[in-house]
Amino acid sequence: MPATVQSVVTIAREGEIAVVTVDNPPVNALGQALRQGLWDAAVALDADPAVRAVVLICAGRTFIAGADVREFGKPPMEPHLPDLVNRIEAAAKPWVAAIHGSALGGGYEMALGCRFRVALDSASVGLPEVSLGIVPGASGTVRTPRLAGVAAAVDLVTGGKPVKAAKARALGLVDAVVSGDLRAEAIAFARDALTKPLPLPISQRPVSAPEPGFWAEQETAITKRAKGEAAPLRALACIRKAVEAPFFDALAFERETFLSLRGSDQAAALRAVFFAERAAPRPVHLGDVRPLPLAKAGVIGGGTMGAGIAAALLDAGLPVVLVERDAEAVARGLANLGAIFEGGVKRGKLTEAQAAAHMAGVTGTTDYAALHDADLVIEAVFEEIGVKRAVFAQLAAACRSDAVLATNTSYLDPRLIVGGLANPARFIGLHFFSPANVMKLLEIVPVPETAPETLATGFALARALNKIPVEAGICEGFIGNRILKRYRAAAEALVRGGTTIAAIDAAMRGYGFAMGPFEAQDLGGLDIAFLQREGARAAGQAVPETLGDILVRAGRKGQKTGGGWYDYAPGARAPLPSTGVAALLAPHVTPGAAAMEGAAIADHLVAEMAAEGRTILAEGIARHPSDIDLVEIHGYGFPRWRGGPMHATARRG
Ligand code: 3H9
């Protein structure tokens, strides 16, 4: 009969082997009750003369996935995790960690306290703490280099990416990879281990110093890769300490670093993003609404957007019918799709065979009748209301009456696109971001008639495509492009006040964006937004002249015309401040009127984004501030470690 130490930890016996099972759904996170339960188990098993070895295994979908992140805002409670890991390591009998799912963070650190680690072939292990703005806090930086060497430890800890079982075995991070019945395999492993001399506990193993120059090289590489982030460099310093100082000194240094980062702005931001990302795919207001089944999809339009959407669907294993208006356009669409997969092969993301299988999943056609059995069709044609309405009229005739029909419009009013169509309950906006097979964000835009099942299907699609879905109400630009418009207008206002274009871009880069607002426009082209404004003007709307309009009228549409907000040397991409632009804009600039410098620029522009975000919330266009943050992070390059404009401004007060 299994004896219960705490409800989350049970102990069973297989002869002289004790099996400690952790059952703390959903992911066996190491909250206080579990830590106490494991501590008590170690004490009880040490005192039990019948037990010679212990297998630590978990119920549910995964091994221990880490510390309980929800406890991070609260005072630490005993037993502390580093003490627990040391206690397991010091146990009188050897412990064997039996890993399935993911052994992450504190979960892998628990496994490091065990004398052996046995992993199922489908499992992975890792120390992802830097992605939460912290460093491992229970010996990950100190024991890992003793187990797998300094280079592997640096990769694992400063990169934060988990590794699959086979690679973990090759690196020495686990001792054995097994398939089939993990419990039985781990017990057999433990029995076998008892027939041989035990290896030293990891804390007593030596660690060799790396080549001279190693630390400086790593520092440079990390600074470049994780620009602006504090945790990866602090993690490197912990590993260095582990190499250069005695075990317990290094452990104390790691703990101190962990505790100091835990309360930092970056950690708070990354935690908020962590929970927002996990909440986004399953919105509370949809409750138990069941999505419709998705087995076959259609895409209308094989341009950049359509091909990207088709690629995303095919990547997720959905067969796709790609419809274009004539044979030539079909061929072009298929070629666009082929190019996307070839790119994937070149970058090592896909094998040749996978790329070929993906292409085999697509049917190119001009005939809407091929969509008769599609469960979902996404329109990605030219942004013109008449063109789109014509597409939906054909879809309404060709598709099953329960097929979900979606538009990828980025700024047209979906109500006008669907107006007058039969059965609008199955209609929805699905706003992908380019390149659609890469960008994580999906804005989901219901019209008033959209049925809850249709909306739930949009979210189910996002889950299938591994995207971050955010529901947006209807307004010009939905959430993301509306904030972008405000951001650009605010940046132009700074230019009018005498702040230089280059200073603004530099400030936003300094804040953590890959590019400033003007460089980004030069890359994407100024003409798209210009044409939109011109369209609105032609329709009688009062759209004030922007500085961007002045540049486009002068033929400066961005890099593709050799100049936009900046000049570009032929064939080069480095932006050069432009005397031509200065002359064009001079009549609209009051030098020194309100010039800003450095970080103040970024603070001002982020505050503008957040102000637009607040209006968006007040209008019910977004449901939660965190939705706005997810849109900015996953669609517009907002630095993740700042948490998004709403989080960042709230944090600043
Ligand atoms: C750490 O360990 C620090 C230590 O070094 C030092 C300490 C002293 N805590 O992702 P899912 C929830 S830092 C609390 O959808 P999946 C999640 O919010 C930690 N809750 O599942 C969600 O809740 P709900 C290092 C957590 O199957 C539910 O579990 N570890 C935690 O797609 C399901 O999550 C990590 O960073 C947590 N640690 O993926 C691992 N993790 O149902 C983070 C998850 O209420 N976790 N939840 O929405 C993961 O990467 C994935 O959850 C995992 C499973 C791969 C494990």
Ligand 1 centroid vs 27 CA: distance in angstroms?
Answer: 6
Q: Give the ligand 1 atom nearest the CA of 81.
A: 8
107 token code pair: 């979960």
Give the model confidence (pLDDT) of 95-118 as tens digits: 999 999 999 999 999 999 999 999
pLDDT over 80 (residue 581): yes
Query: Which of 22, 35, 69 maximizes ligand 1 atoms within 8 Å of its Cβ, making it the mutation to test the pocket?
Result: 69
**Phi, psi (deg, nearest 5) at residue 211:** -55, 155
Q: Which ligand 1 atom is nearest residue 279's CA?
A: 48
pLDDT digits (tens, 9 = 90+) for 526-562: 998 899 899 889 989 999 999 999 999 999 999 999 9
- Which of 22, 24, 27, 254 is the best mutation target for the ligand 1 pocket, counting ligand atoms within 8 Å of the beta carbon and taking the most? 27
Tallying the residues shown for the chain, one arrives at 653
Q: Which atom of ligand 1 is nearest to the CA of 68?
A: 9
- Closest C-alpha residue for ligand 1 atom 40: 65
Q: How far is the CA of 258 from the centre of ligand 1 (A)?
A: 18
* Angstrom distance (rounded) from CA 135 to CA 238: 8
Residue nearest to atom 28 of ligand 1 (CA): 26
**CA distance linking residue 30 with residue 501, whole number of Å:** 49
What is the whole-number distance in angstroms between the Cα of residue 115 and the centre of ligand 1? Answer: 25
The reply to whether ligand 1 has any atom less than 6 angstroms from the CB of 138 is: yes
Contact 373, 400 (CB under 8 A): yes
pLDDT level of residue 1 (50, 70, 90 thresholds):
very low
Q: Would you name the residues annotated as active-site residues?
A: 109, 129
CB of 364 closer than 6 A to ligand 1? no
pTM for this structure? 0.93
Amino acid identity, position 13: R
Please name the amino acid found at residue 276.
Answer: A
Query: What is the residue type of 342?
Result: E
DSSP 381: -
What is the amino acid identity at position 283? P
Whether 233 contacts 169, CB under 8 Å: no
DSSP string, 537-592: HHTT---PPPHHHHHHHTT--BGGGTBSSSB--TT----B--HHHHHHHGGG--TT
Which atom, in ligand 1's list, is nearest to the CA of 136? Answer: 5
State whether the beta carbon of 124 lies less than 6 angstroms from ligand 1.
Answer: no
Tell me the C-alpha distance between 533 and 544, whole Å: 9
Can you give the pLDDT at residue 420?
Answer: 82
**Ligand 1 atom 4: residue of nearest CA:** 106
The yes-or-no verdict on residue 652 having pLDDT over 80 is yes
SS3 state of residue 105: coil
Please report the sign of the dihedral spanned by the C-alpha atoms of residue 476, residue 481, residue 485, residue 487.
Answer: positive
Per-residue confidence (pLDDT) for residue 510, from 0 to 100: 96
* Nearest-angstrom CA–CA distance, 101 and 625: 32
> Is the pLDDT reported for residue 5 higher than 70?
no
Q: Which domains does the chain have, with CATH numbers?
A: 3-263 (3.90.226.10), 284-471 (3.40.50.720), 480-620 (1.10.1040.50)
Looking at the CA of residue 105, tell me the nearest atom of ligand 1.
2
Instruction: Report the b/e string of 343-375 with b at 16+ CB within 10 A.
Output: bbeeeeebeeeebeebeebbebeeebebbeebb
User: Residue 262 is encoded by which pair of tokens?
Assistant: 């835990």
Which distant-in-sequence residues (6+ apart) come within 8 Å of 414 by Cβ? 407, 427, 428, 429, 445, 447, 474
Residue 66 CB–ligand 1 contact under 6 Å = yes
Nearest CA to ligand 1 atom 8: 137
Ligand 1, residue 255: give the atom nearest the CA. 8
Q: How many CB atoms lie within 10 A of CB 16?
A: 14
Ligand 1 touching residue 141 (CB < 6 A): no
Q: How many A from CA of 65 to the centre of ligand 1?
A: 6
Q: Looking at residues 230-241, what average pLDDT do you find?
A: 98
Verify cis geometry, omega within 30 degrees of 0, for the bond prior to 162.
no
Give tens-digit pLDDT for 342-385: 999 999 999 999 999 999 999 999 999 999 999 999 999 988 89
Task: Name the residue at shortest CA distance from atom 49 of ligand 1.
Answer: 65
Which pLDDT score is estimated for 293?
96
Of the candidate ranges 270-274, 292-296, 422-426, 612-616, the one whose mean pLDDT is the lowest: 422-426
- State yes or no: pLDDT of 143 exceeds 50: yes
Q: Ligand 1 centroid to 74 CA: how many Å?
A: 17
Cα–Cα distance measured from residue 377 to residue 139, given in angstroms and rounded to the nearest whole number: 51
What backbone phi and psi angles, to 5 degrees, belong to 615? -65, -40
Binding site membership of 62 for ligand 1 (Cβ less than 6 Å)? yes
| Ligand 1 atom showing the smallest separation from residue 66 Cα | 2
Going by pLDDT thresholds of 50, 70 and 90, the confidence category of residue 72 is confident
Q: Whose CA is nearest to atom 11 of ligand 1?
A: 278
In the chain, count H helices and then E strands. 26, 18
Beta-carbon contacts of 195 under 8 Å, excluding residues fewer than 6 positions away, are: none
**Residue 287 Cα distances to 273, 281, 282, 451, angstroms:** 22, 12, 8, 14
Evaluate whether 241 touches 159 at the Cβ level (below 8 Å): no
Task: Name the token pair of 32.
Answer: 């206080």
Ligand 1 mean position to 233 CA, how many Å?
23
Find all residues with CB under 8 Å of 193, minimum gap 6, and list them.
53, 94, 96, 115, 116
Residue nearest to atom 42 of ligand 1 (CA): 26
Q: What is the DSSP letter of 478?
A: T
Expressed in angstroms and rounded, the spacing between residue 29 Cα and the centre of ligand 1 is 7
Would you state the pLDDT for residue 598? 86
For atom 22 of ligand 1, which residue has the closest CA? 278
pLDDT digits (tens, 9 = 90+) for 435-485: 999 999 999 999 999 999 999 999 999 999 999 999 999 998 999 999 999
How much distance in Å is there from the Cα of 329 to the middle of ligand 1?
45
User: In 10 A of CB 42, how many CB atoms?
Assistant: 24
CA 187 to ligand 1 centroid distance, Å: 27
Indicate if ligand 1 lies below 6 Å from the C-beta of 61: yes
pLDDT at position 594:
67
Q: Which residues contact 198 (CB under 8 A, 6 or more apart)?
A: 94, 115
